[in-house]
Amino acid sequence: MTSLEGKTLAERYRVDALIGRGGMADVYRGADVVLDRDVAIKVLTERDDGERDRFLREARSMARLNHRNIVAVYDAGRDDGWSYIIMELVEGRTLGSVPAHELTVHTAIRHYVEVLEALSYAHENDVVHRDVKPANVMVLPSGAVKVMDFGLARRTSDMSSAGSAGEIVGTIAYLPPERFLGKTADARSDLYSVGIMLYETFTGTLPFKSDSDDLVAVIFGHVNEPPPPPRTVNRAVPAEIERVILKLIEKEPDRRYQSAQAVVDELRALLGEAQPVPPDPALQQPPSAAAAARSKAGKTDSAEQERRLTIEADAREVLARTFGKSKSTLDIGQSESLAGMLATRKRDYPEAVRAYRAALAAFKESKNDLEHAKTALKYATMELQKITEADRVGARIDRRELADAVSEIADAIPVFRGRAMLKEVEEGERLLYALQRTLIRIR
């Protein structure tokens, strides 16, 4: 992958060192040599027209926002084919990387008040973030909070019921149900995401998750499952905090708080900043202090959960609502990839192979190397699962199919390595080694 380190963009912005890497853009530490100040430089690595438009939308959305808790945007442009955004350089830790033992309940609430004040300001300016998650909240050494990466933001007046056809953006774990059901997303959708973050901070876990990275199961949970009340997961969670969290993550937007400011007011009251309240000793305890001793009462019986989450009709309904009738190759790839995951869970291997191959072909046609590589990883994982079960019962292994999976995962590993996705590189190499050994064994 081309590095811009040492280059100067637009004869003004010196690129010094890479400090962050994502699927669509890299972030560098740099300097504005005209104003003699340090800056962050976000450079788009994907060059198709759709991503350029989205990148420009991010710059426009952020440039309109001037708030102490929002990362400032100074400039945007293109130089030598590179699209870039010049931003305030913010140093600290993301909210998700702050250890639980460093947070008292009081400190955690203060952080969330600042997050919500940033969102309240953005919403008042007709901007919905759409990707609120711990990785997009920076905690500075001073303790102040900055919300960043409005890359998925769009003006409220531009919001359609489902955005562009079949579009799934953001991080699935924090997205509200309406984003999967083709309904209108608005400011209350950001509040749902904040509620999921609060749940995670105060319990040490997510309300809807899948240990096997099964996106269908996570989507199903957001749309259909009631979350375990936080106090059944961590009995140390203050009752008032639980009430706020559960109201934020109501599945129907009309049942949530209707504005970020309303949540700010409640949290400030809880802190005693708006009106006197009796002191609460729990406010001086880490928010997830009891997470290690979670009550089993908040956990659904695994067999019952598996039964519900594997109801094919429900899962396919969610997929249909999510992807609609879009015919774009990107959407087809996403839909087929999810179908492959569902089929793998049901051990319908012929359908899984068909779906993954269709997804790989679609991502290849749309020139989306990263999604192609991620799907190859799922395909290889499914193939290894299938081989393990075949060995157990003495069934025949399809050598041609196995060779196809080996080829796909071998092509995927350099993509992960180029993006410094070390966990995926390690998993890919493990799968490649295991599949190659099997290939040699069945010659």
* Tokens coding 91: 């140093």
How far apart are alpha carbons 144 and 92 in whole angstroms? 10
At 281 the pLDDT is 53
In this model, does residue 269 exceed pLDDT 70?
A: yes
At 78 the pLDDT is 85
pLDDT interval class at 328 (50, 70, 90): low
At 213 the pLDDT is 64
At 253 the pLDDT is 95
* Tokens coding 252: 């129907």
- Which H or E run includes 74? strand 73-79
In this model, does residue 316 exceed pLDDT 50?
A: no
At 339 the pLDDT is 82
User: What domains can you pick out in the chain, each with its CATH number?
Assistant: 9-88 (3.30.200.20), 93-307 (1.10.510.10), 327-441 (1.25.40)
Whether 387 and 405 have beta carbons less than 8 Å apart is answered as: no
pLDDT interval class at 2 (50, 70, 90): low
Report the percentage of the chain scoring pLDDT > 70: 79
The residue among 313 and 418 whose pLDDT is bigger is 418
Look up residue 220 and give its amino acid: F
Return contacts of 304-313, CB within 8 angstroms, 24+ apart.
308/220, 308/224, 308/225, 309/214, 309/216, 309/217, 309/220, 309/221, 310/345, 310/346, 312/342, 312/346
In this model, does residue 298 exceed pLDDT 60?
A: no
Tell me the three state secondary structure of residue 145. strand
Is residue 131 part of the annotated active site? The answer reads yes
In this model, does residue 277 exceed pLDDT 80?
A: no
The string of DSSP codes covering 273-324 is: SSS-----GGGGS-TTTTGGG--GGGS--HHHHHHHHT-HHHHHHHHHHHHT
pLDDT, tens digit (0-9, with 9 covering 90-100), for 300-310: 445 444 444 44
Strands 82-88 and 13-21, sheet pairing:
unpaired
pLDDT, tens digit (0-9, with 9 covering 90-100), for 50-77: 677 777 777 777 788 889 999 988 988 8
Report how many helices (DSSP H) and strands (DSSP E) the chain contains, helices first: 15, 11
**pTM of the predicted model, to two decimals?**
0.62
At 162 the pLDDT is 39
Which member of 36, 48, 131, 213 is catalytic? Answer: 131
* C-alpha separations of 294 from 102, 180, 229, 288 in Å: 20, 30, 12, 10
* C-alpha separations of 316 from 2, 165, 277, 310, 339 in Å: 40, 17, 48, 10, 8
Tell me the three state secondary structure of residue 262. helix
| Mean pLDDT confidence for 197-211 | 88
Residue whose structure tokens are 């990362």: 71
At 296 the pLDDT is 41
At 278 the pLDDT is 43
pLDDT, tens digit (0-9, with 9 covering 90-100), for 146-197: 998 875 555 444 433 334 433 343 478 999 999 888 788 899 999 999 999 9
Q: Is the dihedral of CA 219, 225, 226, 228 positive or negative?
A: negative
At 284 the pLDDT is 54
Whether 353 and 391 have beta carbons less than 8 Å apart is answered as: no
Torsion of CA 374, 378, 380, 386, to 10 degrees: 180
At 324 the pLDDT is 47
pLDDT, tens digit (0-9, with 9 covering 90-100), for 388-430: 888 888 888 888 888 899 999 999 999 998 888 888 888 888 8
At 367 the pLDDT is 86
Instruction: State the average pLDDT for the chain.
Output: 80
Question: By C-alpha distance, which of 111, 116, 117 is closest to 140?
Answer: 111
The residue among 169 and 93 whose pLDDT is bigger is 93
